[in-house]
Structure 1
């Protein structure tokens, strides 16, 4: 079992924004963060993360909780599994009262195998020569932990010799199990590139063949620790530079990253054999850098750059595109001593949106009216996915390149619809502010109860009761806590608001009493006089008047 004190230490060491930001793209919204909810399909963000309260809440589906609850729900894990997942993500060492865990064992296997791979490189001259021929220095080999994996038999012998458990080695993606239950090594006779999580915990490997295997590169399989769609090679090394320089260079391979860093371009990272996807956006967003796509200039590189540029610009990223000429990649140019040329290409990168417009239009024959119409449709669709101001700025460029009137793009801005889920009447916001103040400042609850009855809150009466009697984890209360439109009042502000609230309440009560034909004349006269000559004047003077429920029964 995991030691309880260890769990508490983990909770205190992680931030919910970092946790959820590893899974979905969060955007700053005042003191909180917003995103599209990962638990139900939606187009308008209603998922709110509160860093001050360390909770999340979805105003659409009601999901809510803390970091652990989020990982449990999204990954479909048990509580102990979610704790171990978080510990692995943030390189935190858990303590166990007895036994151990798959996560800790898998991590131990990966670390031991990495040490062995590094030692193997020193004994393999073919692998050393390949790296030297590619221009990789000894310092870079050490910095990135480059190693070598020999034959499959030697891998199995190493696991036996070091008594590393095979089931956990399979969990870590080092070996796999055949149809007859036999184990075999996944990587064989390859140069190895260890892959780390953003926090610096080893999670897998990439391998480059030196025996002309048809698969030039192979990555670790999907495991509990390794998800290639959420990782970027070299990010653990580059992140400090990314944050300080506000720049991130995305390239296509391990060697490109290593050579970029070797030449001083310390913000370079690479995807792991996959295209850039929306799952990468949370990691790319950290530090709010300008994202430069540094891809090969062949057809595949242009297609990948176009797809990534559309995704990044639609997500509000700033950045540019560099396509390396003549079929060369960044590693080749840097190895040839052309670092200055690479630096110039990066400085002159084509901005994302103009790149998308230009490359989209280039794929059509504008001399053909139907092709021109198709190009216009595709560019218009792209621009519609941008914010109104950005869209407005680029319509003239698109119109010029298409050779058409900008008016054909229609209205350049659209009036925004009111967000019904967040639009509240003034009275409603006030009542919710009272409830939020009671939640945040329990010492003021008695002051509220002295002058207000729950029934005064109408449709909010169940919420009032939940504040007094319900658990704090109640999704309705969490919704109030994370909603920035609902303010927490000071004691003085609360008194002023209660006076105004009560005056509005008694105004309505007065109209009700006057219209009610069932109230005896004598009582009606008394109540009208009481409200008009006693209660409302006192409230106007700022004096809070205790509500007498029996009087108005």
Structure 2
């Protein structure tokens, strides 16, 4: 990975220019055409009326509700929780570009070597699978084809203690293998392979980098499933097996099915259901839910129908409630006793499994069903008890239409009004007022942002380069950039100022539309004339003050005469 200052600016310009921000955002949020722009409900705060707009002309998004705004890179950073480098790499990958790496200035992140080592181990396990027929036969007997095995990069760890260890005999590398959990050290200090005689499932992050592994034994050894331990790059609380592959297979993921095991994901993919992910032997966390909702508007939890499965479903529901904003959907399906997705789809087929999916309980149905257990809701005391335990839980829903409807449903069930807290966990952000006062300098910058070609009509900017007025240095930079690179997009211009003090000012002015901008050329000319007069007046005053103290040089006297002549004319 490269630090941002080492990525050539020309490459950042290229990536941003090639990206259509409308297409990028539409893959995550459903946009609708509205005049020259596109609109949607903001993905960054809860709202009922669409105030989130995307401009194809400026390649810029802005929410008039919460104030979120930015370029394609900014959207990825905010929506996908990526840093700048990761966002550049994602866009570069989409366009088939490789981020330039200047070896003299190349700086690796703290974890880059770990990612490289994990990928090398992944390739080693895949090679092993191809060389061991009994491992291939195991997968075939489970109904897994070579095509699906290749899609998920399945591999095989040999039945021995030093096979992987011997592939990396450098002591420094072996220390890193311990750090990423592929090698263990016993009490005597001897090293040995963690995964032995197992089908290996590489676990990837949302960018497709291997972060850990899961292993399934081929015999009756225990444990049946084994995961990588917690490492600097692998955290079970937010890792989801198959998420990268699901997103890669489904350009716009309508729904994601959450199952409990690796083989469930692979088995469903074998039958053409590839929008499936698995938690890694841990309870569903809020981090899991957030990741899923960043990829889809509907989550379908699939659990075994036994008591343990229903308890796991209830924990998932409790994690979902605080994140369940209007427009999202969550369902719960429970399989017959003794069945899991792998066994069900292999014995009864795809159509039966999808029937279970269609008949799954909605989030509210599951909640009321769970809360009503062991309560006789036919009696007044039972209804009162239901209201007592339901109210604090339902208040955790974000404010919105769904929260109001679910309380109405509770009121129908108990036959009495329920007064609930509407401020709890309210994630609706107040509208952001505009404080862009129509000063000439701001108008000049806004006019250029509105019509960049105007920069080509500006003559000498020498007076701007010596002007001390606030905002003029930024105006000067923008004029210079667009004079030299008239085809540079708005988005690429903004990226020139990323992490600089001027960045926020440009982004705010990008969406500013005062009446004066109805005629951007006239607004720019008037603003530049005002700045020039103001600069001349300031310089005259400066020379007058110097004359009274130190006196003027011959050049300064001539400059003073010229300025007075210009002011008179």
Q: What range describes the TM-score normalised by the shorter chain of this pair?
A: 0.5 to 0.7
| 1:50 pairs with one of 54, 64, 71 | 71
Paired residues in the alignment total 469
3-state SS of the aligned residue for 2:331? strand
**TM-fit CA distance, 1:364:** 5.7
Matches within 5 A, 1:414-425: 419=430, 422-424=432-434
Q: Confirm or deny: 8 A CA contact 2:259 2:265 kept in the other structure.
A: yes
- Could you tell me which residue of structure 2 aligns to residue 400 of structure 1? 412
- Could you tell me which residue of structure 2 aligns to residue 372 of structure 1? 386
Q: TM-score, normalised by structure 1?
A: 0.64
Q: Confirm or deny: 8 A CA contact 2:115 2:209 kept in the other structure.
A: no
Q: Does 1:113 align with 2:139?
A: no
Output the CA distance in 1 between the equivalents of 2:208 and 2:304: 28
Matches within 5 A, 1:269-280: 269-280=277-288
| 1:340 pairs with one of 332, 345, 351 | 351
- Could you tell me which residue of structure 2 aligns to residue 389 of structure 1? 401
**TM-fit CA distance, 1:207:** 0.9
**TM-fit CA distance, 1:246:** 2.0
| 2:334 pairs with one of 323, 334, 339 | 323
Output the CA distance in 1 between the equivalents of 2:82 and 2:343: 49
- Could you tell me which residue of structure 2 aligns to residue 521 of structure 1? none
Matches within 5 A, 1:63-212: 67-68=84-85, 97=103, 102=113, 105-119=116-130, 121-124=132-135, 128-129=137-138, 131=139, 134-137=142-145, 139-156=147-164, 158-159=166-167, 165-170=173-178, 172-177=180-185, 182-210=190-218, 212=220
- Could you tell me which residue of structure 2 aligns to residue 306 of structure 1? 317
> What does the per-residue CA deviation read over 1:228-252, in whole Å, with 9 as the maximum and x for residues that have no partner?
4444322333224433562322211
3-state SS of the aligned residue for 1:481? helix
**TM-fit CA distance, 1:496:** 5.0
Q: Confirm or deny: 8 A CA contact 2:238 2:288 kept in the other structure.
A: yes
- Could you tell me which residue of structure 1 aligns to residue 53 of structure 2? 30
- Could you tell me which residue of structure 2 aligns to residue 480 of structure 1? 505
**TM-fit CA distance, 1:219:** 1.9
Output the CA distance in 2 between the equivalents of 1:55 and 1:445: 35
- Could you tell me which residue of structure 2 aligns to residue 443 of structure 1? 455
| 2:251 pairs with one of 243, 247, 251 | 243
Unaligned runs of 5+ in 2: 29-42, 46-50, 55-59, 479-495, 531-562
**TM-fit CA distance, 1:268:** 1.5
3-state SS of the aligned residue for 2:268? helix
- Could you tell me which residue of structure 2 aligns to residue 266 of structure 1? 274
Output the CA distance in 2 between the equivalents of 1:229 and 1:276: 8
- Could you tell me which residue of structure 2 aligns to residue 294 of structure 1? 302
Output the CA distance in 2 between the equivalents of 1:189 and 1:249: 29
**TM-fit CA distance, 1:423:** 0.9
> What does the per-residue CA deviation read over 1:223-280, in whole Å, with 9 as the maximum and x for residues that have no partner?
4554444443223332244335623222111111112112222211222233443434
Output the CA distance in 1 between the equivalents of 2:167 and 2:241: 26
Unaligned runs of 5+ in 1: 36-43, 59-63, 72-81, 504-546
3-state SS of the aligned residue for 1:382? coil
Task: Call closer, same or farther: CA 1:6–1:340 in 2, change over 3 Å.
Answer: same
Output the CA distance in 2 between the equivalents of 1:264 and 1:415: 40
Task: Call closer, same or farther: CA 1:424–1:7 in 2, change over 3 Å.
Answer: closer
**TM-fit CA distance, 1:478:** 1.1
Q: Does 1:495 align with 2:516?
A: no
Q: Confirm or deny: 8 A CA contact 1:209 1:216 kept in the other structure.
A: yes
Output the CA distance in 2 between the equivalents of 1:361 and 1:346: 23
User: Over aligned residue pairs, what C-alpha RMSD do you find?
Assistant: 5.6
Question: Which structure is higher in RCO with an 8 Å CA cutoff and minimum separation 6?
Answer: 2
